[in-house]
Amino acid sequence: MTFLPNIRDLNIFVVEPSTSQAMFIDSQLKNIGVTITTIFKDGTGALKAMHENRPDVVISSMHLPDMTGGELVAHMRANDSTSHIAFILVSSESNPHYLESVRQSGSSAILGKPFTIEQMKKALSTSLDYLNPDTDKIEVSGDIDLETVRVLLVDDSRSARAFMRRVLENLGIRNFTEAENGKQAVGIIQQHYFDLVVTDYNMPEMDGRELTEYIRTQSWQSSVPILMVSSESNQSRLAAVEQAGVSGVCDKPFEPAVVRKLLGKMLQAEVLF
């Protein structure tokens, strides 16, 4: 893996059918210090070029002539050669159907239109965190070796699991088991010990709240830290998740800096416990 020390080193593809909007995004990137950008008007051309000149980050609009931004990132995640490219959506779209597909595929950030230069800087910084191994790692006291921490990842989206795994690997964690929903996770938890559970909220069969309630009330490892990762915005549902006993809640997109702080506190609490 090539280490990218700062934003100026990023190779960025901008996928935007509007010439004026593409030029605006490009000028903002130049103002931030990015020097390597290529503009595409559709997803097909961008995907083809990715195999010839692999970018570090793709910044895309939601509605393209040949596909949506969600379909573009899904195509990227389905191919080994493009699966780990960071993805940023820039869109005024508010329809949850479109936005959820991007969140589930593993995006570094979703920027609304209009966006500020500071918001773009933050999105690019988050992308760097995703692309680079984290030199700071998670700070925990005691005798915890992060490479031996056993993590159960639970999400019905394979792409989302791969994205979360990449972020956690960059933080120094190496030992993973994956489940597609809460019901499958229950079967695994009954047989294996874990130091941490990272779960999505909205899943078929058994959702994240139900999984949390099972772990806290019926599992033999009821004190395991649970990080809930969700794009859920309904406050009553989020309150129910907290009451079920999660140790922390993190929004999708899954931001490495936020995850580092949450996991540091959660694993520290387990050491003290």
Give DSSP secondary structure letters for 27-64: HHHHHHT--EEEEESSHHHHHHHHTTS--SEEEE-SB-
Question: Which is higher by pLDDT, 272 or 205?
Answer: 205
Q: Could you list the residue range(s) of the whole structural domain that residue 174 is in?
A: 146-272
**Boundary (domain end) residue, out of 131, 157, 185:** 131
* 3-state SS, residue 231: coil
Clarify whether residues 186 and 243 are in a common domain: yes
pLDDT for 272 equals 38
pLDDT for 131 equals 87
Quickly list H helices, 51-195: 69-78, 96-105, 117-131, 158-170, 182-189
Is the Cβ–Cβ distance between 168 and 137 less than 8 Å? no
Domain presence at residue 138? no
Domain presence at residue 136? no
**Boundary (domain end) residue, out of 77, 99, 131:** 131
Clarify whether residues 68 and 160 are in a common domain: no
Clarify whether residues 243 and 156 are in a common domain: yes
Q: What is the CATH number of the domain that holds 116?
A: 3.40.50.2300
Clarify whether residues 124 and 231 are in a common domain: no
Q: Average pLDDT, stretch 2-26?
A: 89
pLDDT for 271 equals 44
Domain presence at residue 2? no
- How many domains, the chain? 2
Clarify whether residues 151 and 115 are in a common domain: no
Clarify whether residues 67 and 12 are in a common domain: yes
pLDDT for 257 equals 77
pLDDT reading at 123 higher than 60: yes
pLDDT reading at 234 higher than 90: no
What is the average pLDDT value for the chain, to the nearest integer? 87
Clarify whether residues 103 and 217 are in a common domain: no
Domain presence at residue 51? yes
Q: Average pLDDT, stretch 207-231?
A: 91
Q: Look at strands 86-91 and 226-230 and give their pairing.
A: unpaired
**Boundary (domain end) residue, out of 108, 131, 154:** 131
Domain presence at residue 208? yes
Clarify whether residues 91 and 169 are in a common domain: no
The C-alpha atoms of residue 58 and residue 62 are separated, in whole angstroms, by 12
Domain presence at residue 1? no
pLDDT reading at 256 higher than 50: yes
Clarify whether residues 24 and 127 are in a common domain: yes
The C-alpha atoms of residue 219 and residue 116 are separated, in whole angstroms, by 46
Clarify whether residues 115 and 150 are in a common domain: no
Clarify whether residues 82 and 184 are in a common domain: no
Clarify whether residues 13 and 125 are in a common domain: yes
pLDDT for 242 equals 78
Among residues 222, 239, 238, the alpha carbon closest in space to that of 230 is found at 238
Model confidence over 151-192: pLDDT tens digits? 999 999 888 898 889 888 888 889 999 999 999 999 999 999
Q: Look at strands 196-200 and 175-179 and give their pairing.
A: unpaired
Model confidence over 35-53: pLDDT tens digits? 999 999 999 999 999 999 9
Domain presence at residue 140? no
